[in-house]
Structure 1
C-alpha cells in the first residue's frame, strides 16, 4: 500500500469534522436527555406523512448536483416493514433498524459506521451543509423507534459477562460487525471469551493497519506496540548514523594511531611485533590492508586473514576453542553499508579475541598496547571517549579489558612495564579480578574453563545476558526469552515456564535459581545507566497492570499478548546492540465533493505505566543525542508529541473523561504520522526496499545445538472490543509477532526477511500460538461519498 503525497497535505490541514458525540443513535438511555442541543433541535416530530419537506432540500444546487453526479436522483427507498419481529434481531440489527428511520429522513450521520453502512444504499441521500435542516418524524416512525429502544434496553440489561472471575464486555452487544465484509467465527468466539482476537495479518509495517482504518473509518486500537516500533526505529537509526559518522572512524583512528606509535618503539621487538600484528588484523577487518606487517607474523597473519574474510573457523593468532569466526558475519543494521559492515567485523574481531592472561607472550603484547595508548595523552583521551560512548549505548564492559590493564600500569617506561616481576604482579591482579558477571557454562571439560581472558575492548554486560547465564544447566542447555519476564515478576511468564514448559522438572534447581534472580533484580534501579537498560525498562512496562485497567487487559490471553509485545521490544534492543552486548553461551568441545467526513473514533491501549515509562525513555534519548553530529532532533520531537498525545488520551479513558474532537482528529492519522516519522529517520520520501519490512532477528545464546534466535516478524492485527459513547465497537490495531527458535548458523536480517517473505517461518512459541488466528484479515465493507485520499496498489 502506497500513500499519495497529498496525504501529507491532508494530514496537516484540519478537517471540518462534525460533532464527535454519538448520533441520535445512542442507546444509552442516560444520555438521551443530554443530546437535545445537538439532536432534538435538528428533529421535528410533527407528522409529515409524505415527507414532502425533504424535496425542497434536494432541489438546493449543491445537493442536487451532488446526487445527480452520483446517479442517485430518483432513487427512492423501498417500503419500510414496521411489523418486524424485534425479538429475532441481534442488538446490532436493532440499532441499524432504528437508525434507518433517520437515514430515510435525510439525516447525515457523524458516526462513521452508520454513515458508511447506509451509504451502500442509493436511497440514502442525507441533507448536508444546511444548518437549519431538521429531521421530521411522523407518529408511526416515533412509535416504532420507541419499541426498538425498549428491546435494546432489554438486551443492555446484560452489558457484561463473567469470564475468569472478571466482568468482560458482552460481545452480543457489539454494534459494528457489519463494518467488515466478514468476521470469522474464530474471531467472534475470541470476542466472547476474552474481548479481543489476534489475526496473523502479515503486514510488513505496523502502521499499515492504521492507514487502512483511516480510510475505512474502522476504529483504531492504538497499541503500545506501534509506539515501541517507532521508538526502536529512532534508536536504530540514531546508532547507525552515530557509528557510521563517528564511532567507526574513532575506532579505526585509535587502531591506526596505536599501530603508528608502536612503530616508533625501538626496544622489546617481540612484544611490539605481536602488538602490531594485533592492530594489523583489527585494521584488516576494517578493510585497511595498507599496514606494514612484521615479517615474523606473516604466515599466521595470512591464516587469520583468510578466516576473517570467510567469516568462519577458529582463530589462529589468539587461539580459543570457544570462538567461532562465523560470528564475524555482519547482521542487524550493519549490513546496510560497507563502512558499517567493516566496523562490525573489526569490533567483533576485537571483542572475540581476548588474550589468555596466563600466556606471557600475549599478556606482554597487550601490556605493550596498553602502555602505548596510556603514554599518548591524545590517544588515551580518544580511547576513553570511545569507551564512554559505547558504555552509554550498551552498558559497562563485562570482561577484563585494557581499561583495567592501564590502571595497573603505574610505571613511566615500557621497560618497567615489561619487567618480569611487574608482569607477574599485573598477571596476579588480573587473575584476582571478579569483573565478569555473565559466566560461560561448561557442560563438558574444556581447556578454557580455568582461563581468564583480557580484551582490547570487551563485550558489554546486559541484564538478559546474566539471567540467561544463570538459568542454564546441562539438563537445560538453552534459556527462553520468557526467563527475562519471569525474573522481573511477570506471573504469566513464570506460570508458562513452570506449568506448561515444566522447566523445573527438566532441571530441579530451575525454580530456586529463578527465585534468586527475582530477589536480585527486585530492587534494580539503575535503569538510566545506558540504552540497553532503559530500553528494557520500557519493554517490561508493556506488561504492567493496574487495578483501573479495563478487565480484558487482565485476562490470561491479554497478558500473553503483552508478553509478546515486551519480548518483541526486547528483541529490538538485542538486535540494535548485537555488536556490543555479550552473548552468553554454553561451551562444548566441538471519492470528490459532497458531505464532509464523519467522525472516526480511536482507543489507546490504556497501559498508563507504559506511557509514563515511554515518556521517560524519550527524555533519556534527548539527553543521549545532545552534542551528537546526527540527532534526528525533529523526528524525536514528533515521537515525543505523539507519545504525549497517547498518554493524555489513555489517562482520559481510564478516568472516564471525554476525548476531544481535536484529539480524535490527530489519532485518525496515527498510522500516517508514524510512517512520516520513519521516512524522516530514513531521510527519504518513500520506503526503500531494504526498509520495507519490519522483520528483524538477533542471536542471543549459543550452545552445541546451534544458535538461539529471537525475532520479530511482520505485524499481526489485533481486534478489541472497546466502548465508544456507550456502545461496544470492534477496534483494530497492530501488534508484534514474536518468534524464538534455533538455527545451525548465524542469521542476519536479510536471511530472516527472506524467510518471512516466503512465509517460511518457524511456528510461534507454544505459549502464544493458540491466540494467533490464521484466518483472513477483516476487510472494511463501508462506502464513503467524499474524496478517497489514498490509492492502493
Structure 2
C-alpha cells in the first residue's frame, strides 16, 4: 500500500478506537484536536498543535498524567543539550573567566601607565595614552568601582557614555584622532553592548559581557599607522608581563576549544610580527619606516573571514578589517556562510541582499528542501545568490567529521546537519517520518536548536555585518508504550558532541563537578535513546523498563532543567532564566543600510502528535514537544533581550510563523 493511502487508513483506525492500547480508554489517547488538525493528522501522520507550554517538561508531564504514549522528540533532547551547555558556560564565566578578566585589566592598566610615563615626551606618547584609555574602559566595565587614570578620564567617560546609551554606530572617542580622512574614522556599533542572552539580569555576567564585547569588537586596524603603533604597545604590555599572558591565555584558550578561534589577529600574531620587525624594542616604533615595515608584515597575515565592522563597498574589506582585537570574537561556520550570502557578495547597490535567513544555513548544510523554500520566497532573485549558495554548500560538503569537531560550537552545527540532510529512511521508520512534511518539521527543529546555540554564544560569535552600500516502591501498571524518534545520526553526533565537550573541559582543567554530573546524565539518556531507536527500527519491542523510562521522560527533562539553573542572586527569582519560559532570542546579523538587525527567537513549546508503532505490531497516537521558532528584524538600537522577547511572547505579540509550516503547525 502506498504511503499516501496508508496514512489516512491508520488515522481512521486510530479515531475509530481499533488501535487503542489495551486497558486505556480511547479518550486518553485522543486529545481535543480541532477538525483541521485531525485532517492534517490523517493526511500526513503527524500534526503540530500550538500550545502555551513554557517548558518541554510540561508537555511530557501532561502526557504522563493523561496516560498517553509519549513521543521522545529530538527537539526535547536538543533543548536539554542547550541547558547543559548554557549552564557550564555561565559557571565558567562567573567562576573562572570573570576573575581572570578583572585581574588582567587591572594589571594591564598599571603596566600601561608605567609605559605612558616612560614614553612621555617621545613621538609615542599619544599612542601610549590611547592604549591606557582603551584598557581603562575595559577595567571600568568589569570593575565599575575603579577610577580611570586622570590622564585618560575624559576619553574613558566619553566611551562609557556611548556604551551605556548603546544606540548604534558612532566614532570611537579614543580613536577619533587616528583618522587620516573622514572615511578613515573608526566607527563602532554601540548597540552591541546591550547585555542579552543569558547575561541579562545578572550583575556579574552583565559586567563580563560588556567588557568582553569591548575587547572582542574594537579593532586596531593594521592599515592605520597610529592604531598599529597602539596595537604594538598593547602587545608589548602582554609580552612583557608573564602573569598578564597567563590570564589572557586562561580566557582565550578555553573559549577557543568551546566556540572557535578568533577571526582577527591576536596579540600572539602581533608579538611574532614585532619580534621580526623591531625585536620588541618599543622605541623603534617612533620611526615611520619601521611602522610601515610592521604594517607590511601584518598585511601578509590572514584577513578576517567574517566582517563585523562598518565597511563600505568602496573599501578593500581585507584592508579595512585586518587588525588586532585583544580578545577577538570567534570565527564560526554559520557566520562565515552568512557573510557569503549578503551584500556585497549577493545583490547590487540598487537591490542588495541586506540580511541572511536561518534557512540559508540549512540549505548550506545540504538541505534541498530549505533551498526550494528559499527560492519560493524569492531569495534567488538577488544577483549571485545561487552561485554563492553553491559555494557555501560545496565548502560545507568538503569538511570532514574531524573538521566539524574541532570545537564544541561547530560540533553542534554538525549534529544539526543530521536534521538538515537526514539519511534515507526505509519502511523500518514510521510512515510520518518519510513524508515531505516531516522534512520541513526537521528544519524547524534545527532552526530552534541553532537559535539556542546562537543565544548561548552570543557574546563570543562574530556577528555578520552586511557591507554598507554607498548610495515508587509500588509496582505501577504497565506504562503506555511510548516511542523514541529514531534519528540515529543525530543521537550519534550528540554523543560525540558530549565526548568533545568533556574532553576540551578536561584538557583545560575547567570541568566542574556540576558540569561532569550534567554531562554524565546527558550521555546516559543519549545512549538509551540511540539503543531504543535501533531496537525500534529492527522491529523489536522495548522492555517494560524502557517504556517506563520513556513515560517518565518529562521528569528527566525537569530534573535537567533544575540542574542547569543557577543559584538565586539578590532580588532575582530562584533558578534564574531556566525558571522562566524556555523562549530565547538572539540577534545574528546586522545591516547598516537599513539600520536593522536579524533576530532569531524560540517561543512557547508546541505539541506534536504522530502515528507511531505501539510495540505490539499495531499503531497508536503519541504526543511529544517541539520548538516554535521565529525570524524577524528590529531597529539597530532595539536589540532584544530575553526578558523583552518573553514579554512579547506572553502577550502573543510575536511575528507570524514561517509560511512553510502552514500545513504542519495547525490550530
Query: TM-score, structure 2 length as denominator?
Result: 0.86
Q: In 1, Cα distance between the equivalents of 2:242 and 2:309?
A: 40
**What is the match of residue 56 of structure 1?**
none
Q: Report what 1:663 is aligned to.
A: 546
Q: Does the CA contact (< 8 Å) of 1:277 and 1:294 recur in 2?
A: no
Decide which moves more: 425-434 or 202-211.
Answer: 425-434
Residues 648 and 629 (structure 1), Cα distance of their counterparts in 2 relative to 1, 3 Å cut: closer
CA distance in 2, matches of 1:285, 1:467: 32
Q: Of residues 179, 188, 195 in structure 1, which corresponds to 2:45?
A: 195
The gaps in structure 1 that reach 5 residues or longer are: 1-159, 775-793
1:381-392 alignment runs, 5 A limit: 381-392=246-257
Instruction: Report deviation, 1:169.
Output: 6.3
CA contact (8 A) 1:695 1:749 kept: yes
Do the aligned partners of residues 436 and 169 (structure 1) sit closer, same or farther apart at CA in structure 2, a change above 3 Å counting? farther
> 1:336 deviation in Å?
3.6
Tell me the matched-pair count. 610
Match of 1:520 in 2: 395
1:325 maps to 2:215: no
The residue aligned with 1:482 is 359
Q: 1:514 to 1:166 in 2, by over 3 A?
A: farther
Corresponding residue to 2:146 among 266, 283, 290: 290
Given that 1:335 and 1:341 are in contact with CA atoms closer than 8 Å, whether structure 2 keeps it comes out as yes
Bigger mean CA offset, 197-206 vs 594-603: 594-603
Q: Are the structure 2 counterparts of residues 477 and 596 from structure 1 closer, same or farther at C-alpha, using a change threshold of 3 Å?
A: closer
Alpha-carbon displacement from aligned partner over 1:553-576 (angstroms, at most 9, x marks no partner): 121110111001011111111111
- The answer to whether the aligner puts 1:307 opposite 2:162 as a matched pair is yes
Which of 141, 162, 171 aligns to 2:3? It is: 162
SS at match of 2:660: coil
Aligned pair 1:765/2:658, yes or no?
yes
Native 8 Å contact 1:545 1:554 kept in 2 = no
In 2, the alpha carbon distance for the partners of 1:311 and 1:287 equals 19
Is structure 2 residue 339 aligned with structure 1 residue 469?
yes
1:210 shift after superposition? 0.8
Task: Please tell me whether the aligned partners of residues 188 and 309 of structure 2 are also in contact (alpha carbons under 8 angstroms).
Answer: no
Q: TM-score, normalised by structure 1?
A: 0.73
Q: Report the CA distance between 1:298 and its aligned residue.
A: 3.6
Structure 2 residue 67 is matched with structure 1 residue 217: yes
Is 1:256 aligned to residue 146 of structure 2?
Answer: no
Q: Which has the larger radius of gyration?
A: 1
> Is structure 2 residue 329 aligned with structure 1 residue 451?
no
Q: Is the 8 A contact 1:194 1:552 kept in 2?
A: yes
* Residue matched to 2:23: none
- Considering fraction of residues, name the structure with more helix: 2
Alignment of 1:643-682 (within 5 A): 643-682=526-565
Which of 245, 262, 273 pairs up with 1:380?
Answer: 245
Residue 708 of structure 1 aligns with which residue?
Answer: 598
Q: Does 1:178 align with 2:27?
A: yes
Secondary structure at the aligned position of 1:643 is classed as helix
For residue 457 of structure 2, what is the aligned residue in structure 1?
A: 577
Q: Distance in 2 between matches of 1:238 and 1:412?
A: 39
Deviations 1:579-598 (A, max 9, x none): 011101114379x9999534
Match of 2:200 among 335, 349, 354: 335
> How far apart, in 1, do the equivalents of 2:440 and 2:309 lie?
30
The one-character-per-residue Cα deviations of 1:300-320 (angstroms, maximum 9, x if unpaired) are: 332222112222352322355
Q: Deviations over 1:73-108 (max 9, x none)?
A: xxxxxxxxxxxxxxxxxxxxxxxxxxxxxxxxxxxx
In structure 1, the residue matched to 2:290 is 422
502, 509, 512: which one pairs with 2:384?
A: 509
Evaluate the alpha carbon distance shift between residue 637 and residue 689 of structure 1 in structure 2; reply closer, same or farther with a 3 A threshold. closer
- How far 1:376 sits from its partner (Å)? 1.8
Secondary structure (helix, strand or coil) at the match of 1:437 reads coil
Distance, in Å, in 1 between the alignment partners of 2:78 and 2:660 is: 22
What CA distance in whole angstroms lies between the structure 1 residues aligned with 2:190 and 2:47? Answer: 44
The partner residue of 1:534 within 387, 411, 426 is 411
- Aligned counterparts of 2:473 and 2:260: Cα–Cα separation in 1: 57
730, 754, 760: which one pairs with 2:621? 730
Q: Please state whether the residue corresponding to 1:233 is helix, strand or coil.
A: helix
Question: Are the equivalent residues in 2 in contact too, given 1:440–1:587 (CA < 8 A)?
Answer: no
List runs of 5+ in structure 2 lacking aligned partners.
21-25, 177-184
Q: Does 2:200 align with 1:344?
A: no
